[in-house]
Amino acid sequence: MSNRPRAYNIREFKEILKKNGYVFVRKGKGDHSIYSNGKTTIAIAKHMNKMIALRLIKENNLKTD
């Protein structure tokens, strides 16, 4: 077994956002999409790096189960 953290692609990350109460708000500048849960807002790029997804999960205390 590996100790490496699970890397999420953009489709999986959007599902994690939805499960945590975030909804699509609008398109941002360039290729960014804005999601909000009423308290916090997260901007994600169309071609997001997998490590950025892990950072956003940790910073915003998102549940991945």
Residue 54 lies in a domain: yes
Number of domain units in the chain: 1
Percent over 70 (pLDDT), the chain: 97
Residue 26 lies in a domain: yes
Strands (E), the chain: 23-27, 32-36, 41-45
DSSP letter at 5 equals P
pLDDT at 17 over 90: yes
Phi, psi angles (nearest 5°) of residue 19 = -65, -25
Looking up tokens 């708000």, which residue turns up? 25
Residue 30 lies in a domain: yes
Say what the pLDDT of residue 22 is: 96
As a whole number, mean pLDDT of residues 28-52 equals 90
Residue 9's SS3 state is coil
Residue 33 lies in a domain: yes
Say what the pLDDT of residue 1 is: 59
Which residues partner with 14 through β-bridges?
Answer: none
Residue 65 lies in a domain: no
Residue 64 lies in a domain: no
Residue 16 lies in a domain: yes
Domain coverage including residue 39: 10-59
**pTM score, two decimals?**
0.84
